[in-house]
Structure 1
Amino acid sequence: MDPNLIGILGFLGMLGLIVLGVPIAFSMLATACIGLFAVGGPNHAETQIAITFTDVGANFVMVAVPLYFMMGQLVQRTDIAYDLYECVYRWLGRLPGGLAISSVVACAGFGAVSGGSVTAVATMGPMCIPAMRRYKYDDSLATGCISAAGTLGILIPPSIILIGYGILTETSIGALFIAGIIPGVLMTIGYSATIAIRCAMNPELGPVGEKFSLEEKVRSLNKVLPIFLTFIVVIGGIYGGIFTPTEAAGVGVFCLLAIAFVMRRLDWPNLKLSFLKSMQTSGMIFVIICGGHMMGKFVVQTELTEGLIKWMEVQDFSAFTIMLGLSLLYIALGMVLDVWGMLILTIPFTFPIILGLNYSPVWYGVYAVIMSELALITPPVGINVYVMAKMAPDVPLTKIFKGVAPFFIFTLILVALITVFPEIVMWLPESAGMS
């Protein structure tokens, strides 16, 4: 049978499994195994399966995954996130929509040491929502800003999603981490500006918070110093070439454990639960990455991507048209898939195309993560929105989705900017000699 036909049938079969509710990791594994069997026979398929699981399991970078998850668990279970929000609130609470802006900045700070999105929403929501309701903030703004700001956790380093992308594409994890800093900062500023402008135009959306003295503001900095120093040690160490991203993860966990014990905020049950949750999630990520690797091999051996590239060359599509189509594809996939699903499903097909357009694999990693962020707030899936709905059950889902709309639009604007000006993403890694 023609390899291209096998590839097309395999892709359609995988989509069918996903529609039937089979987890995407197992859908890709099943498709790849059957497809490789059809291409090269049983021995070939068996060999590729063994090589894939062995290579991914032996990859030193995989050690970083449970460690970064552990960092997020420690921040969540030691009230460090609460200290962060309190500090930001004291400095920014008097701005129009100050409590909502504080929530955005606090989510960004949480992401800087956790690498997760849903965790950020689940951690910051119970702290931020009651405070905003106390000042009679609009429910749509209050729930929408936290749902959207939670996505910053998978862009601002350390990011678990960027690690997964780096393993799949063999791209430098350190370069990806450094490349995510400027877009992450721009997104934080953009989200905050969106809130400030809306609340300045309509003060009833988000009244200003209480006033604090300079002494109270300065004193609040003491509580966030540990989390700030942890971020500087982890990211600064990577940027300065002192240690690798995997080593940085170990250093980060050590720092947070030391802080938690010194501040007496961590007991044995919570420490045990942190380890357990980290390992459970890491096991899931391992299977997902193996599925992506297997699917990548299937795509290569059936020459599916090569055929797609040749077709696009015949059609003479411009780089702008291809990137526009890819962005629309990500938005459409975001309506039915989660972040990992989108990333694992698209990378085997799109990565060779992006390289053919002379974009950097580091740039594409940041682009893909930003587009995947939209899946977290896009109906009908929108995982962040559903997590928020559990914490604010009296707020209709439609109202929360309405609240994330302005942030969705700003994210698309940022995507356009980094596509036209890729230097926004590449300047830091290039200055560090990482790209």
Structure 2
Amino acid sequence: MDPITIGIVGIAAMLIMLVLGVPIAFAMAVVGIGGTAAVVGVTQTMSQITLVTWDKGTDFIIVCIPLFIFMGQLTATTGIAGDLYLFLQRCLSRVRGGLGIASVLGCGGFGAVTGSSVACVATMGTIVYPEMKKYGFDPKLSTGVLAASGTLGILIPPSLAFAFYGTLTDTSIAALFIAGIVPGVLTMIVFAGIVYVQCLLRPELGPLGEKYTLREKLVAAKGIWPIAVIFLIVIGTLYGGVCTPTEASGIGATGVVLVSLLMKRLTWENFKKALSDTGMVSAFIFAIIVGGYLISRFLAVTQITDLLVSFVTEINPSKYEFIFFMIVLYLLLGAILDVFGMTILTLPFIFPITTALGIDPIWLGVFIVIMTEVALITPPVGVNVFVMRGIADDVPMGKIFQGVFPFLIGEFVIIGLIIAFPDLATWLPRMMK
């Protein structure tokens, strides 16, 4: 059997395994190892497995992933995110839809230290949903805005999705983090605008909250300093070129520990829980990274990657035609895969082609992360919606998806903006140079 045929059979086998529910890391590893062995032999394949596992396991840049995960996990378990929301809620309680807008900004702020969408919606949903329910917010709107705003966790830096993409493509993680700032702020503005307009047109959706005095707002303001300080230190050291992403993640993780100690929030139990959760998530991501490199090697030795690049080059699509193809591809994959699965499965094919078409790898990283945001709130998978359903068990799944729909439209507005104005994603990284 020739290498290309082996490649096609391997891809088909992997897709079948994914449809059957086999974990993506395992599916990629099985096909990568078995397929490569069929082409180059068992001895050479086993040597490559050892080298890939060792190389990725000892890669200095990968250390930033567990450290950023730990940063977010400890922030969640110590209740720092709740302090941030309290301040926002008191400032915006008398604005139409203020609690919903506060949830958008709160998710953005929490995203600045967590890097994870699921952690963001789980933490903020637990804090915010009972408050919105208490003040008579429409269940569809409250669950929809929380599920959608949770996606900011993977766009606002430091982002696990950007760190993952940078590791796989050898793109500067620092530049990717900085690139996420403007699209992240735009997303918060668009989402907040959607809440405000809905509540302006139908006031019963989001009743006004309590009225707070200036003193009460100032007292609550102390809740914003931990997240603000940690974010400014991490992003400031990256933007100024003082630290590498790994060093910045170490500083950020240490900062969260110190802040938690100063606020007397750190206990042995929540510290242990943060470490345990960090270990599980990190192992999951590392398994996907290793599986991704094995499948990439398989595609290379079977010449599938070269074949696809040549095929696309012969068709000679415009950059915008290929971007449209990627939008459709990620919408379809989002129906069956999670964020990391979508990224690792497509990059071996997508990245060489976009490079040949002259698409900026930093812009591509932002685009892919926003598309994975869309997948997080799109049926039938919609991971964030399922997480929100676990918190708001009194709201049917269908209603949550209905509540998410206006924000899904908002995501496509953001995608349209970064396609029309690529500098929205690349301007700040250029300023770093």
Is this a same-fold pair by TM over 0.5?
Answer: yes
Aligned to 1:157, what secondary structure does the other structure show?
coil
* Distance across 1 between alignment mates of 2:134 and 2:158: 33
**Deviation of 1:56 (Å):** 0.5
Superposition TM-score, scaled by structure 2 size = 0.98
User: Which residues of 2 match residues 294-313 of structure 1 at below 5 A?
Assistant: 294-313=294-313
**Deviation of 1:43 (Å):** 1.5
Aligned to 2:342, what secondary structure does the other structure show?
helix
* Distance across 1 between alignment mates of 2:92 and 2:229: 21
Deviation string, structure 1 residues 50-109 (Cα, Å, up to 9, x no partner): 111011001101111111111111111111111000011112222211101101110110
**Deviation of 1:362 (Å):** 1.2
**Deviation of 1:316 (Å):** 3.2
Equivalent residue, structure 1, for 2:174 = 174
Equivalent residue, structure 2, for 1:427 = 427
Equivalent residue, structure 2, for 1:56 = 56
Aligned to 1:220, what secondary structure does the other structure show?
helix
**Deviation of 1:218 (Å):** 2.6
* Distance across 1 between alignment mates of 2:140 and 2:52: 45
* Distance across 2 between alignment mates of 1:321 and 1:66: 37
Letter in 2 for 1:90: R
**Deviation of 1:317 (Å):** 2.1
Kept in 1: contact 2:319–2:359 (CA 8 A): no
**Deviation of 1:305 (Å):** 2.2
* Distance across 2 between alignment mates of 1:419 and 1:52: 35
* Distance across 2 between alignment mates of 1:117 and 1:322: 27
* Distance across 1 between alignment mates of 2:226 and 2:17: 46
Q: Are 1:411 and 2:411 counterparts?
A: yes
Letter in 2 for 1:315: I
Equivalent residue, structure 2, for 1:328 = 328
Query: Which moved further from structure 2: 246-255 or 307-316?
Result: 307-316
**Deviation of 1:153 (Å):** 0.3
* Distance across 1 between alignment mates of 2:94 and 2:358: 46
Equivalent residue, structure 2, for 1:244 = 244
**Deviation of 1:204 (Å):** 1.1
Q: Are 1:146 and 2:146 counterparts?
A: yes
Letter in 2 for 1:292: G
Letter in 2 for 1:397: M
**Deviation of 1:4 (Å):** 2.0
**Deviation of 1:345 (Å):** 0.7
Letter in 2 for 1:285: I
Query: Which moved further from structure 2: 178-187 or 297-306?
Result: 297-306
Kept in 1: contact 2:96–2:208 (CA 8 A): yes
* Distance across 2 between alignment mates of 1:16 and 1:360: 33
Kept in 1: contact 2:92–2:102 (CA 8 A): yes
* Distance across 1 between alignment mates of 2:110 and 2:354: 31
Kept in 1: contact 2:86–2:223 (CA 8 A): no
Letter in 1 for 2:216: E
**Deviation of 1:34 (Å):** 1.0
User: Which residues of 2 match residues 11-410 of structure 1 at below 5 A?
Assistant: 11-410=11-410
Kept in 1: contact 2:312–2:353 (CA 8 A): no
Query: Which moved further from structure 2: 370-379 or 312-321?
Result: 312-321
* Distance across 2 between alignment mates of 1:419 and 1:47: 42
* Distance across 2 between alignment mates of 1:431 and 1:313: 32
* Distance across 1 between alignment mates of 2:119 and 2:241: 29
Kept in 1: contact 2:87–2:224 (CA 8 A): yes
* Distance across 1 between alignment mates of 2:92 and 2:292: 43
Name stretches of at least 5 consecutive residues in structure 2 with no aligned partner. Answer: none
Letter in 2 for 1:361: P
Letter in 2 for 1:21: G
Q: How many residues align?
A: 433
* Distance across 1 between alignment mates of 2:73 and 2:313: 47
* Distance across 2 between alignment mates of 1:85 and 1:22: 39
Letter in 2 for 1:371: M
Identity of aligned residues (%): 47
Letter in 1 for 2:400: I
Say what the alpha-carbon RMSD is for the aligned residues: 1.1
Superposition TM-score, scaled by structure 1 size = 0.97
**Deviation of 1:283 (Å):** 1.1
**Deviation of 1:420 (Å):** 2.2
**Deviation of 1:12 (Å):** 0.7
Letter in 2 for 1:72: G
* Distance across 1 between alignment mates of 2:95 and 2:317: 47
* Distance across 2 between alignment mates of 1:315 and 1:67: 44
* Distance across 2 between alignment mates of 1:402 and 1:69: 31
Deviation string, structure 1 residues 325-376 (Cα, Å, up to 9, x no partner): 1101101111111111111111111011111121111111111111011111
Q: Are 1:6 and 2:29 counterparts?
A: no
* Distance across 2 between alignment mates of 1:319 and 1:240: 32
**Deviation of 1:44 (Å):** 1.9
Aligned to 1:204, what secondary structure does the other structure show?
helix
Aligned to 1:296, what secondary structure does the other structure show?
helix
**Deviation of 1:427 (Å):** 0.3
Deviation string, structure 1 residues 265-291 (Cα, Å, up to 9, x no partner): 111111111111111211111111111
* Distance across 1 between alignment mates of 2:176 and 2:261: 32
* Distance across 1 between alignment mates of 2:361 and 2:301: 22
**Deviation of 1:215 (Å):** 2.8
* Distance across 1 between alignment mates of 2:300 and 2:281: 29
